[in-house]
Amino acid sequence: MSGLKNKKIVLIGQSEGGATSAVVASKNSSIFAVVLLSAAGVSGSKFMSYQAACKDTLFMGTFGLHPEAFDVLNSMSSIKKKRYEQNIEGFKKFENETYGPLKDIVDKYDDYDTIASHVISYLENKWNMEDEKTKSIHKNFAEYCVAHHHFAYIQPEQIGLLKWKPELYFPKITCPVAVVYGTRDQSVEYSTSITNIRELLVRGGNNKFISFVLKDHNHFLENKRNKPSIQDSSVDQVVDWIVRQ
């Protein structure tokens, strides 16, 4: 590490890596600058809700027009009073009943082992309450969880995303921060993230902030309307900013 003492360290992180970079920068005053690409600047629950809204729109536009799609949703569990109607409200009700209790468990506890234990307990109880027809469709408890994407709620990465709190880290960052987003990002809503990161940095006394918004670029900063990668001119802007610091 002695060779790094006189080096200017610039952290660059994309998406979840951006959150990691923010955590590192908040704890290390020797970082020269931070560049965050498509990083969430709002709480985990907020950006996951944004992702869900984008996914709901995609599902309804792609599969929601077909009655068979809702036949599948209605056959996945017998623990409900009514069938899900074939519309966006019906799909949202399905998601809320399926994942709402799991999100509540994640919100309630902080320790990963405790969260995983309660999630598995809840799912096992739910499986035991299903009727024989539903159990025969899914064959066993593991396939039942896979079909519902339940196991996502016991994966450390997923839990970490849900519990992400930018207010714990950004006010502690003292170095210059640049953020880069695409206007077609369906994982992170760029305008609220930019606003929140700026406000959190200012709260900690840091005014060294700049944002770059790339038109028609997605979460991976690809512009598929023109070419499948971030344009050189955009990269040059970020590099020029780093040099000026």
User: How confident is the model over 127-141, as a mean pLDDT?
Assistant: 90
Q: What is the pLDDT of residue 149?
A: 85
Q: What is the pLDDT of residue 3?
A: 45
In the chain, what are the domains?
2-43+165-244 (3.40.50.1820), 45-162 (no CATH)
Q: What is the pLDDT of residue 226?
A: 57
Report CA-CA distances (Å) from 239 to 31, 65, 156, 212: 16, 46, 34, 12
Q: What is the pLDDT of residue 245?
A: 80
Residue that the structure tokens 């729109």 belong to: 57
More reliable by pLDDT, 240 or 4: 240
Residue 142 makes CB contacts below 8 A (sequence gap 6+) with none
Write out pLDDT tens, residues 157-184: 888 888 999 999 999 999 999 999 999 9
- Average pLDDT taken over every residue of the chain: 86
Q: What is the pLDDT of residue 4?
A: 45
Q: Does residue 2 surpass a pLDDT of 50?
A: no
- Residue 44's nearest CA partner among 196, 177, 212, 166 is 166
| Token pair recorded at residue 178 | 């640049």
Write out pLDDT tens, residues 35-51: 999 999 999 888 888 88
Residue 113 makes CB contacts below 8 A (sequence gap 6+) with none
